Amino acid sequence: MRLLFIVSLAILGAAALRAWVIEGIYVATGSMEPTLHVGAHLFLDKMTYRVRGPRPGEIICFSAPVEPYEEMCKRLVAVGGQTVELREKALYVDGKAVEESYVVHKRSAEKLVGDNLGPLEVPKEHVFVLGDNRDESKDSSYWRDPATNEPKPFVPMSRVRGLVRGIY
């Protein structure tokens, strides 16, 4: 009986840890290459954003704000109150060019949907995210409202699952 109690307690503790503190997740697409490769396993920190707000440059996991509402991981590039713009594939936040040494443009000669966007002000409690493999990423530069085809670029913080802390 005591062993059953200990095993039950351990299972409950592990489930609580996974639900509220840290979780292992799997990278299914190449949208964050070369930073995160397909098949990589990540530690997802679910506690940090309960203590502080998100910061540009962090890699987060979230549920997409448009159908089919896929779970994905992208780089957070702007938070609520900031102005974001994409000009000829270059990122500007609050009017200043952002140095993005981690970004790859595999289709740099092509004109793509998200190459030019904004300027847009990110609403409070929302974030703007982009994949590091910019030309192969479905992200804030790509998402559209299916009824109007207008950009739908912001991820509500309520859809953010957590902060990527490392690869295992």
CA distance 102 to 49: 24
Look at residue 118 and give its three-state secondary structure: strand
- In the set 46, 74, 137, 140, the catalytic residue is 74
**Which tokens belong to 110?**
């092509």
Judge whether 31 counts as a catalytic residue.
Answer: yes
Determine which helix (DSSP H) or strand (DSSP E) holds 71, and give its type and residue range.
strand 71-79
> Are the CB atoms for 62 and 161 separated by under 8 Å?
yes
Decide if 69 contacts 161 (C-beta within 8 A): no
Cα separation, 116 vs 89, in Å, equals 7
Task: Give CA–CA dist 99/96, Å, rounded.
Answer: 10
140 has catalytic annotation: no
Catalytic residue among 31, 137, 140, 141: 31
Q: Which residues are catalytic?
A: 31, 74
